[in-house]
Structure 1
Amino acid sequence: MEYTTLGSTGMEVSRLCLGCMNFGSAQPWMIDDEERSVEIIDRAIDLGINFLDTANVYSRGESEEIVGRAIEGRDRSELVLATKVYGPMGEGPNQQGLSRKHVIDQCEASLDRLGTDYIDLYQIHRWDDDTPIEETLSALSYLVDEGLVRYIGASTMMGWQFMKALGASDLNDHERFVSMQPEYSLVDRHEEENLLPVCRDQGVGVIPWSPLGGGFLTGKYDPDDEPEEGRAATDEHTHERFTEENWAVLDAVRELADEKDASPAQVSLAWLLEKEVVDSPIIGPRSLEHLEENAGAVSVSLTDEEIERLEEPKTPVWSRATGDL
């Protein structure tokens, strides 16, 4: 496994991050088997992946609990644990959003579920229109000052919102977001026209989610297929990727994978790893086989000409719709 520093920090993370959203039972496409989930976590760590990403809303805390039990007894200093706050965690008032109350309450709850004294990277899952960003940043800074959080990060918003947050941190001497989680893959390149230029300019680390386009870039689908299982069977966003333009991207991926004796997933991840602004794509394997395959991407290198071949079929376009906000 290879490592890099996260954004402008000195914290080293593996070039692949283990996404833990599959570890739970809230959706039919989740693993719903703690023993299998722990096996994947254990194997990922054995492969050198030290970066694990989850969120409080993943199966209403079940993912965090599974991660916590899986890492129990391991050297905590060798792991980088990331989780998120924003989504609903109950039916009553103050059970969602980025108010000072909810942020601090949920950090404490996440610490309990993860079985740890601190969170390495605490991220806001979405932008909250109902809470001033200064209040959120004040709460996050408090958590850092108390030693409960090491760094703060963000996920999925418009570029102007993220720049507003970074500016507010600079003006008010609050903790600054060190990372951003955008949707980014060969078939989802809209963030090249939104968040990525901000991250590049501000020295913010990029941790792409859905780096395989919801499974589309694994090559397991064909234009005439109807997904019958897995996340694609129930995820409308995956179906939206079934476009002529995206099939052309997949054709290029498949051709290059054959030339390199690699899999389409490995080539797709390797493309992300070649991007200077990208630190650690978030992989979400549902089996040990998928994990091993994804991990092999760090050994796949691409030339400038090969990168151009992969990118040629698609032109990045940003809109509120493609941004999935």
Structure 2
Amino acid sequence: MEYNRFGQTGLKTSSLCLGTMGLGSSKWKGWVLDEGRSVPVLKAALDAGINFFDMADWYSTGLNERVVGRTLLSMTSRENLVLTTKAFYAMSDSPNDQGLSRKHLMKSIDRSLTQMGTDYVDIYMVHAFDPETPIEETMSALHDIVKSGKARYLGASTMYAWQFAKMNHVAEKNGWTPFINMQCQYSLLYREEEREMMPYCKDEGIAVTTFSPLARGYLAGGGSAPRIAHDLYLDWFGDEIDREIANRVNELARKYGKTASQIAQAWVIGSGNSTVPIFGAESAEQVEAALDAAKIVLDASDRAYLEEPYRPRDMINDYNPVRRPRALSAPAATLAVAS
């Protein structure tokens, strides 16, 4: 496993990050692994040398942090881990148990640390932009969290580039802690962050972590049966162009003797746009497959072949009023067949 400098910080992370949205409790979403099936995945990642693990309080409504954090800490020391968690989405029916207000952030960091069983998180992230809270309030609260020792660094996820830039500008103007990480969706089927977010981060020296390299599992044939049944976000994908890209992924999988999932992951890893790609896994074998994907070097002509059908599409975030699930022209399970 290689360990690289994270943006312009002194932090060193593994070259891959295990995303843990799928670990915690199947009661939250049917495709999520319960604790017993989550432990082997986490152990396989640790055994492979991965030190970077991404969580969120919203995942499994807190059980994700408990299962992932406490399992990892039972296997290795805290100093061997780079742990990330997020706050923003509603954790209860309380009107103040959501968003990026000072009240919610202060409650959320303490709750997350208790769930994980640690006294600090390496990167504390805002899960989205909050249009109902002044940016000054949010950035001041995040700065205080860092100064209290409860977080080492700050990050953000899934917003427009202008929102992210504005938040960092407010921090800089007031001498507060800035964001050192942007986490955004990125795959062969969703490349909109290449337009503004990724160039901005490169110019500012901000590390980019990318998630959903398989486009919610679509590039692996729609994912597992539970995911097809329970993940409504799969409806984001599936038009004629998406099917053509998926077919090309399968074609190159046969050429390279790999799976479609590995080719899709290899494209992200080799893009040069992701400081640390995030991958998910449902088994120890899938952890090994992701590590193998990191070794695949796609020919320039093959990368161009995969990219050629792409066209601009709606931004995927909470603030795009025109984005909505699109009707598929064929059943999701038959759109792409994983090799």
Residue 4 of structure 1 corresponds to 4
Which deviates more, 64-73 or 206-215?
A: 64-73
- Which residue identity is paired with 1:239? D
Q: Distance in 1 between matches of 2:131 and 2:16?
A: 32
SS of alignment partner, residue 276 of structure 2: coil
- Change over 3 Å in CA distance of 1:253–1:50 after alignment to 2: same
1:100-146 deviations in Å (ceiling 9; x for gaps): 11111110111111111110010000100111111111111111111
The alpha-carbon deviation at position 232 of structure 1 amounts to 2.4
The match for 1:52 is 53
Report Cα offsets for 1:149-188 as digits up to 9, x if no partner.
0110000001110110111111111111111111110011
Q: 1:236 aligns with which of 222, 227, 232?
A: 232
Structure 1 counterpart SS, 2:23 = coil
Query: Which residue does 2:63 correspond to in 1?
Result: 62
Q: Which piece of structure 1 moves more, 276-285 or 123-132?
A: 276-285
**Paired residue type of 1:282:** I
**Contact 2:24/2:68 (8 A) holds in 1:** no
**Corresponding letter in the other structure for 1:58:** Y
Instruction: Identify the residue that residue 303 of structure 2 maps to in structure 1.
Output: 307
Q: Tell me whether 1:78 sits opposite 2:47 in the alignment.
A: no
Three-state SS of the structure 2 residue aligned to 1:299 is: coil
TM-score (norm 2): 0.89
Distance in structure 1 (CA, Å) of the matches to 2:269 and 2:10:
19
Q: Distance in 1 between matches of 2:210 and 2:324?
A: 13
Q: After TM superposition, give the deviation of residue 45 of structure 1 in Å.
A: 0.8
Give SS of 2:238's match.
Answer: coil
Is residue 101 of structure 2 the alignment partner of residue 99 of structure 1? yes
Instruction: Give the structure 2 partner of residue 22 of structure 1.
Output: 22
| Equivalent position SS for 2:217 | helix
**Structure 2 match to 1:252:** 248
AA in 2 matched with 1:209: F
Stretches of 4+ aligned residues off by more than 4 angstroms? 321-324
Question: Which ranges of structure 1 fall in alignment gaps of 5 or more residues?
Answer: 222-226
Deviation at 1:240, TM superposition (A): 3.2
Listed one character per residue, the Cα deviations across residues 287-308 of structure 1 (whole Å, up to 9, x for unaligned) are 2222221221111112322211
Q: 1:194 deviation in Å?
A: 3.7
Q: Does the CA-based 8 Å contact 2:29-2:230 persist in structure 1? A: no
CA–CA distance in structure 1, aligned partners of residues 157 and 40 of structure 2: 28
Separation in 1 of the partners of 2:271 and 2:4? 13
Question: In the alignment, what sits opposite 2:274?
Answer: 278
1:22-63 CA-partner distances (Å, limit 9, x unpaired): 11221111112x121011101111111111001011111000
C-alpha distance in 1, partners of 2:254/2:114?
46
Instruction: Give the equivalent residue in structure 1 for 2:123.
Output: 121
Q: Which residue of 2 aligns with 1:40?
A: 41
> If the length of structure 1 is used for normalisation, what is the TM-score?
0.92
Q: CA RMSD in A?
A: 1.8
In structure 2, do the counterparts of structure 1 residues 82 and 228 end up closer, same or farther at CA, with 3 Å as the change threshold? closer
**Letter of the 1:57 counterpart:** W
Alpha-carbon shift at residue 99 of structure 1 (Å): 0.8
Q: Distance in 1 between matches of 2:269 and 2:206?
A: 16
**Partners of 1:256 and 1:211 in 2: CA distance:** 16
**Residue 139 of structure 2: aligned partner:** 137
* Runs of 5+ unmatched residues, structure 2: 326-339
**Partner residue, 1:224:** none
**What are the Cα deviations for residues 62-93 of structure 1, in whole angstroms up to 9, with x where unaligned?**
00000122122412111100000111112223
**2:69 maps to amino acid:** G
CA distance in 1, matches of 2:269, 2:173: 33
**Residues of 2 paired with 1:269 and 1:113: CA distance?**
31
Is the 8 Å Cα contact of residues 232 and 239 (structure 1) preserved in structure 2?
A: no
- Conserved? CA contact 1:23–1:31, under 8 Å: yes
TM-superposed CA distance for 1:205, in Å, is 1.1
Name the SS of the counterpart of 1:208 in structure 2: strand
The answer to whether the Cα contact below 8 Å between 1:67 and 1:114 also exists between their aligned partners in 2 is yes
Cα distance between partner residues in 2 of 1:275 and 1:233: 31
In structure 2, distance between residues paired with 1:217 and 1:83: 26
- Does the CA contact (< 8 Å) of 1:121 and 1:150 recur in 2? yes
Give the letter for the 1:268 counterpart.
A
Residues 4, 15 of structure 2: 8 Å contact kept: yes
Q: 204, 207, 231: which is aligned to 2:206? A: 204
- In structure 2, relative to structure 1, the CA distance for the partners of 1:322 and 1:278 (3 Å cut) is farther
8 Å Cα contact 2:236-2:324 kept in structure 1:
no
Give the distance between the partners of 2:247 and 2:254, measured in 1 at CA.
11
